[in-house]
Amino acid sequence: MAAPSAATRRKLQRKFKLRGFTLKVDALEEAAAFLARFPDAEDDALDLLLDELDKEPLQSSILDRDAVRRVVALLVEADEAVDAASPAATSARSALRVVDSFVVPRFHYDPIKKVFYEHTSRLAIHGEAGDKAALYRDRYQVLLQRLARDIYFSKPAFDTVMTEDDNCEITSIQSLIGCTGRRWIMGVISQLEERQFYLEDLTGACYAFLSTKHKITSGFFVENTVIVAEGELLSNGIFQVNTCGFPPLEDREASLSMLMGLDFFGGGVIPTEETVRLSTLEKKAMNDMFVILSDVWLDNYETMEKLGVVLDGYDSLEAVPSLFVLMGNFCSRPCNLAFNSFEELRLQFGKLGEMIAARSRLKEHSRFLFIPGPDDAGPSKALPRCALPKYLTEELQKHIPNAIFVSNPCRVKFYTQEIVFFRQDLLYRMRRSCLIPPTTEETSDPFEHLVATITHQSHLCPLPLTVQPIIWSYDHCLRLYPTPHTIVLGDKSDQKAFKYTGITCFNPGSFANDSTFAAYRPCTKEVELSALES
């Protein structure tokens, strides 16, 4: 490859610097080689390259060859697709944006001004005590401001004659002292004393006895969840609960209208005119399909054999899937301190790359997204988990340069649709940590209770930090506010799909254990639960 001219070098460095990027020498050469393919439209090609780099889940603003090469490979394939008179393939690829958890913006709620403002300072991985307090406070404030707009809990604008049954206005716990009669409170279930659970808000705490005798809503009531309870404060200081449940959900469009264009999802704010255009394209993308597999054990011969069957099946289709999402664990054994086969695992990722590359149509027209599991290699078990280590994935990327390795959880924006992927054995932990048995009035299905819990809590993992550690400063990455269109919960439990208040939620099942996986069609939000015959 010929060295770029001095003028080209200066142009590249200036343009990349304006976008906030710094180029290493090998990355500059890669970008110059891409521009050389378009001698009559260098500026347009460079702008396109920068636009696509902006969409990538980059870990650093200093770009190396691999980061640029991954995007260049994508653009070259798109250009070849245009030459082959296949605009549909190009539009599908350009419509897909993957958002790493560690680049999701953080917002705080100001209860005085009743607005959200963005946190602009740097977030620390190892936080201080104040960061842990902020985690609970921010979770509570998000749900409280949502509840305040609910027709049943909002304070009347004018003084009206209301019966006690109609008045559901929330009372702060501190204000309960001296009050008689029925009151509604909203608080976090907190274990302030050993095996003694309290309801706690921003003003105080009171002991509240929770049992199956109370009328409760669907969901798992675990420590750290926020609940709305109706009852009366007794003379002994105990809040006698009559009814309790999770804060009511708010329609996605209602939430968005209150956020005044703030980007909570991390996929970028789309102007109204562009949203209308993208919605039209999304509805026309009938052939686009995402295939999701969880527990892809690379060290297990049977699993790899089954994966080959799945890839062969989709490679033979007239329209191949737009995206394959492969979620961990990628090894049948936990990658902990006792694990000493990292070199072998690296080679197994390379074999997976060879397997994908052997299916030429999938390599050319599909993208591959890799999300680590709870027992995969990484710096800690705390959420969110960073992408798989580069050491393990280098061999695979030699065969599939545009493979995407992101955090767990991660977010995908497809045209206007927002999709959240989360790989965690959440159902087992929720059931184990549940303080009272869930009600069976509406449903007895554990997965439906799980979906109700995370959506009403607006959080992917509302478990105690002792059960599932979370990086305090990055707790916002697990928020589900405003509610996304689709939530994919990779879990080792049985595969399941459930549509709840317009939100599509599904678990593709454990591919290694049960040979189960799922296909999702974004244009219709339909889920096809699949399995290989044994």
441-453 pLDDT, tens per residue?
Answer: 999 999 999 999 9
pLDDT of residue 293: 98
Question: Hey, CA dihedral for 130, 132, 135, 138, is it positive or negative?
Answer: negative
pTM score of the predicted model: 0.83
Please enumerate in sequence order all residues whose Cβ is within 8 A of that of 533, keeping only pairs 6 or more positions apart, or say none: none
**530/507 Cα distance (integer angstroms):** 11
**Per-residue pLDDT, 87:** 39
Residues 6+ away with beta carbon under 8 Å from 209: 238, 240, 241
- Give the Cα separation of 274 and 68 in Å (integer): 27
- Return the higher-pLDDT residue of 90 and 293: 293
Residue 39, class by beta-carbon neighbours within 10 Å (0-12 exposed, 13-18 middle, 19+ buried)?
Answer: exposed
**CA dihedral angle for residue 373, residue 378, residue 383, residue 385, rounded to 10 degrees:** -70
pLDDT higher than threshold 90 for residue 312: yes
DSSP assignment letter at 472: G
Please check the confidence at residue 206 and state whether its pLDDT lies above 60.
yes
Q: Return the sign of the alpha-carbon dihedral for residues 159, 165, 166, 171.
A: positive
What's the pLDDT score for residue 177?
83
* Segments of 302-425 assigned E as strands: 323-327, 367-371, 404-405, 410-414, 417-423
| 333 neighbors 378 (Cβ within 8 angstroms) | no
pLDDT recorded at residue 515: 96
pLDDT (tens digit per residue) in 142-151: 999 999 999 8
- Please say if the pLDDT value at position 166 is more than 70: no
**CB 506 within 8 Å of CB 525:** no
pLDDT value at residue 292: 98
Percent of the chain with pLDDT over 90: 62
Residue 168: is its pLDDT beyond 90? no
Least confident of 178-182, 304-308, 408-412: 178-182
Task: Identify the structural domains of the chain with CATH numbers, from first to last.
Answer: 6-84 (1.10.8.60), 268-418+509-531 (3.60.21.60)
- In one-letter notation, the amino acid at residue 14 is R
What is the token pair recorded at 50? 């920068």
Calculate mean pLDDT across residues 14-34: 85
Report d(CA 276, CA 289) in Å as an integer: 21
pLDDT at 267: 80
With residue 176 as reference, give the H or E element that holds it.
none
Per-residue pLDDT at 524 exceeds 90:
yes
Distances (CA, A) of 312 to 258, 356, 357, 402, 519: 47, 10, 12, 20, 15
Which pLDDT band holds residue 77 (cuts at 50, 70, 90)?
low
What is the per-residue pLDDT for 288? 94
Phi, psi (5° rounding) for residue 251?
-60, 140
Half-sphere exposure of residue 86: CA atoms within 13 angstroms, side-chain side: 14
Report the pLDDT averaged over residues 72-88.
54
Q: Give the whole-angstrom CA distance, residue 226 versus residue 167.
A: 21
* Average pLDDT estimate for 89-93: 45
More confident residue, 486 or 42: 486
CB neighbourhood size of 412 (10 A): 25
Residue 91: what pLDDT?
47
Taking each continuous run of H as one helix and of E as one strand, the counts in the chain are 15, 22
Confidence of residue 86 (pLDDT cuts 50, 70, 90): very low
Instruction: Give the count of beta carbons closer than 10 Å to the beta carbon of residue 337.
Output: 6
> Residue 414 gets which letter from DSSP?
E
Is 85 a residue whose pLDDT tops 50? Answer: no
**Does residue 486 contact residue 472 with C-beta atoms inside 8 Å?**
no
Q: What is the mean pLDDT of the chain?
A: 88
pLDDT bracket for residue 155 (50, 70, 90): low
179 versus 244: which is more confidently predicted?
A: 244
| H-helix or E-strand spanning residue 485 | none
- At 418 the pLDDT is 95
Alpha-helical segments (H) within 374-523: 390-399, 426-433, 446-457, 511-514
pLDDT per residue as tens digits for the range 346-355? 999 999 999 9
| Beta pairing partners, 409 | none
473 by DSSP, 3-state: which?
Answer: helix
